[in-house]
Amino acid sequence: MQNPKHPLQPERLRRRPARRASLLGSLLLFGGVGTFVALSTAEPAPEAASSRSDAGPSGHSVALAAFSPELPAVSAAPPSNAPAPSEVASPAPDLRITEGVISRGTTLARALSGQGVSSDVVHVIAREMRPLFDFRRARPGHRFRLSQDDLGRVVDFRYRTTPTSSYRMSLVGEGYSVRQEEAVLMPRPARLSGVIASSLYRAVTDQGEHGQLARDFADVFAWDVDFQRSVQPGDAFRILYEKLYRLEDDGSEAYVRPGRILAARYEGVAGRHTAFYFEREEGVGGYYRPDGTSVERQFLMAPLRHARISSRYTSARRHPILKITRPHHGIDYAAPVGTPVWSVAEGEVIFRGRAGGFGNLVKVRHSNGYVSYYSHLSRFAKGLRRGDKVGQKQVIGYVGQTGLATGPHVCFRIARNGQYVNPARLRTPAGDPVPNELFSTFRSARDVLLAELDAGELVVASEESL
Ligand SMILES: [Zn+2]
């Protein structure tokens, strides 16, 4: 299992005590243009912090190393979604709270009356909410929370359809105000690290974090590492990122999902890659290597996600159907029929149609004399035509088995000036580096993030997670 030549063998990754982090404090030093943004969070009140509940699959929070609660208070202004003090927290003790989740095969009315809410009250709620939300659209997993006063009157009713959107009805004078609410999520820095036992996705979800973080991480390095192909057991990763929390009615916080990745490192057979998020100007950010070059390249490593290589680029191989030896000038990615296939670079569609053994084929012309090929597609992206401009990672079609194919896959090829080249070897830069005038800002911020990225212990995935 362990590659003896691997630079990061699990047994060498001895645990060391988590260093107290001060990311937030340090980052405050960097203001204005060229900062790592989205770190201006309000610290939770101590009681809120202690009642913080991870809504994710939960589990080993050790690796999530929430940054220490004794960080200096930042940004005194409460987040804009924080309800006014009168609305929040400590409801009058005589309020009766009824909460629940809609389960399969039931209705909101039944869920409420099942908890002893009178039919009159159910009727009032349904009537007041109707302009915004029809109860017939209630779905399993939706959550509700009802507050009633000692007369049984509805004081507040919240109906949550997603972790961030809800419909709310509040008593105002003698009537009700009804509105839709979008929770503004509060970012809190966190760190996740590990060693891959089977896949990056498992290494992340086994630690209780959402799989989205693994996908975002793979996206940061998508130009350098093909996570479907190059990742091996023993490879190590570190992620410094934001966890996004929603403020609850009782003042506690609920973890919703991972937010932006601030810094990331991947170290394995595919090399060592480190990237930092940096905003060149407000709202315009990207990922950069420690030397300030952009991680972005002209070509992505792969034209799809969730695929395995079924055939590599080679100058000689035995064709599975034709039973003759001939070169394979592409990379075959096997994936279920219907898996989206995207253009690996920005360009123009120069072919879209049937092409013999290629089956349904899309060809995209890029700058510098490159053309990429995507074949055996089951169908094309809706509306895609010859002459269309496509962006990097824009879906152009879907995996299929058209033409000469033994199973569903996409044969991905790149030609330059009419000659096929190995897509796995392309290393063409595309993104602009950090501008000179911002480099010192970048360097300071990078060093802070780097220290945080390397702080704390590295969690070694257990054998049973294999
Ligand atoms: Zn092929």
Average pLDDT of span 301-328: 75
pLDDT tops 70 at residue 191: yes
Tell me the sheet residues that pair with 297: 429
Q: How far is ligand 1, taken at its centre, from the CA of residue 316, in Å? A: 12
Average pLDDT of span 263-279: 92
Protein fold of 85-182: Nuclear Transport Factor 2; Chain: A, (3.10.450)
How many angstroms separate the CA atoms of 250 and 278, rounded? 35
Q: How far is ligand 1, taken at its centre, from the CA of residue 61, in Å? A: 43
pLDDT reported for residue 409: 95
Mean pLDDT taken over the chain:
78
One-letter amino acid of 129: M
Q: With cut-offs at 50, 70 and 90, classify the pLDDT of residue 174.
A: confident
How many angstroms separate the CA atoms of 91 and 100, rounded? 18
Q: Please provide the CATH number assigned to the domain covering 308-425.
A: 2.70.70.10
Q: How far is ligand 1, taken at its centre, from the CA of residue 374, in Å? A: 9
Q: How far is ligand 1, taken at its centre, from the CA of residue 423, in Å? A: 12
Sign of CA dihedral 282, 445, 43, 75: negative
pLDDT reported for residue 28: 34
Q: How far is ligand 1, taken at its centre, from the CA of residue 409, in Å? A: 8
> Quick check: do 85-182 and 308-425 share a fold?
no
Q: How far is ligand 1, taken at its centre, from the CA of residue 311, in Å? A: 7
Q: How far is ligand 1, taken at its centre, from the CA of residue 332, in Å? A: 5
| CA dist list (Å): 144 to 100, 103, 244 | 6, 12, 21
pTM of the predicted model, to two decimals?
0.65
Q: With cut-offs at 50, 70 and 90, classify the pLDDT of residue 223.
A: confident
Q: With cut-offs at 50, 70 and 90, classify the pLDDT of residue 436.
A: very high
Every domain of the chain and the residues it spans:
85-182, 308-425
Q: How far is ligand 1, taken at its centre, from the CA of residue 163, in Å? A: 42
Q: How far is ligand 1, taken at its centre, from the CA of residue 308, in Å? A: 13
Q: With cut-offs at 50, 70 and 90, classify the pLDDT of residue 88.
A: very low
Q: In residues, how long is the chain? A: 466
pLDDT tops 50 at residue 202: yes
Q: How far is ligand 1, taken at its centre, from the CA of residue 98, in Å? A: 59
| Per-residue tokens: 215 | 């996908």
Q: Helix/strand/coil (H, E, C) string of 315-344?
A: EEEECCCCCCEEEECCEEEECCCCCEEECC
pLDDT reported for residue 75: 32
pLDDT tops 70 at residue 461: no
pLDDT reported for residue 428: 80
Among 352, 350, 354, 331, CA closest to 413: 331
pLDDT tops 50 at residue 1: no
- Mind listing the pLDDT tens digit for each residue in 2-36? 333 333 333 333 333 333 333 433 343 333 333 33
- How many H helices and E strands in the chain? 7, 24
Q: Which helix (H) or strand (E) holds 47?
A: helix 46-50
- Mind listing the pLDDT tens digit for each residue in 282-307? 878 899 999 999 998 889 888 998 67
pLDDT tops 60 at residue 173: yes
| Per-residue tokens: 50 | 């202690």
Q: How far is ligand 1, taken at its centre, from the CA of residue 161, in Å? A: 44
